[in-house]
Amino acid sequence: MVRRMVAGAVRVEVDGGRAPADRVAVLVHHAERAPVARSFRELVATFVAGGYRVVVVSSSPARGPLDWGGDLAEGVTVLRKPNVGYDFGSWSVGLAHDPSIARARHVVLANDSLVGPFADVRHVLAAGEASTADVWGVTETEQFRRHLQSYWLAFHGGVLTEQPLAWFYASVRHHEDKQRIIMRNELGLARLLQLEGFSTDALFPARSVVDAADNPTIAGWERLLDAGLPFVKREISRRPELAPRGEAIADEVLRRYGTRIDEWL
């Protein structure tokens, strides 16, 4: 298990405290260098402004502390861990660091796989908090099987303390193969939610953006921008050939938001 693999190697780089909060975001970060990209800085700021206590779990191999380009918001905790377990392993470490997180009324587990937000996303936070589902996601897909995409999931009413979900995150294992990671973790979580009867919902349900079997953050990147989600998947910002009209991504971000996407990477 990842928690066992990194035992003794996780360190607190910035201690933001453990004040009780009804909204907590555990944000996964990875970069080779110490300077934190604008995209992740803005993501942290988004949750801080939304009233969330933020715990950053970084697997950056950079020596020395992360460079936030200025003062980090008060109350933000930064954990550093070895680069094992990928995103689910980092969420596992974040939840283990402070078990009270799981009891919060709203817990968001998110990562840095999207670039942005290029504009205000208070409506996204509000939609997640207003959901009556046990688990809420920004996008849902039918690729492989119907499931919430794991880059931004919200858990409500303390469901992370319930045995099936507590066990799932505590038992995350490290895999080198990306496909196995998806099957074991993202799709494994979907199977667990279904088998245990947890309710789910999404801001963008399956087929509301793309056809079945398509990834909305890749095939539907432009429709998501049209619908008011000011993010672009990092993978297609770097490899636009993977997405329909991918060559237009940089121009669309500049046209819509007046900013150059390369400044966020």
Structural domain includes residue 231: no
Answer whether residue 256 is part of any domain: no
Asked whether residue 253 is domain-assigned, the answer is no
In a domain, 232, yes or no: no
CATH number (domain holding residue 139): 3.90.550
The CA-to-CA distance between both ends of the chain, in Å, stands at 31
pLDDT surpassing 70 at residue 177: no
Categorize the per-residue pLDDT at 25 as very low, low, confident or very high, splitting at 50, 70 and 90: very high
Calculate mean pLDDT across residues 186-197: 94
Taking 90 as the threshold, does the pLDDT of residue 45 lie above it?
A: yes
Domain-located, residue 23: yes
- Please state, for a pLDDT cut of 70, what percent of the chain lies above it: 96
What confidence tens digit (pLDDT) does each residue in 53-78 have?
999 999 999 999 999 998 899 999 99
Which residues, other chains included, contact 194 with Cβ-Cβ below 8 Å and sequence gap of 6+?
none
Q: Residue 228: inside a domain, yes or no?
A: no
**Could you read off the pLDDT of 74-105 as tens digits, one per residue?**
999 999 999 888 899 999 999 999 999 999 99
Burial class (CB in 10 A: 0-12, 13-18, 19+), 208: middle
Average pLDDT over residues 99-114: 97
Given this model, what pLDDT does residue 252 score?
98
Rounded CA separation 211/107 (Å): 30
User: Does 126 score more than 80 pLDDT?
Assistant: yes
Q: Quickly count: other Cβ atoms within 10 Å of residue 122's Cβ.
A: 11
What domain range is 189 assigned to?
A: 2-205
pLDDT for the residue numbered 19: 84
What's the burial of 56, exposed, middle or buried (CB within 10 Å: 0-12/13-18/19+)? Answer: buried
- How many domains are contained in the chain? 1
Residue 65 lies in a domain: yes
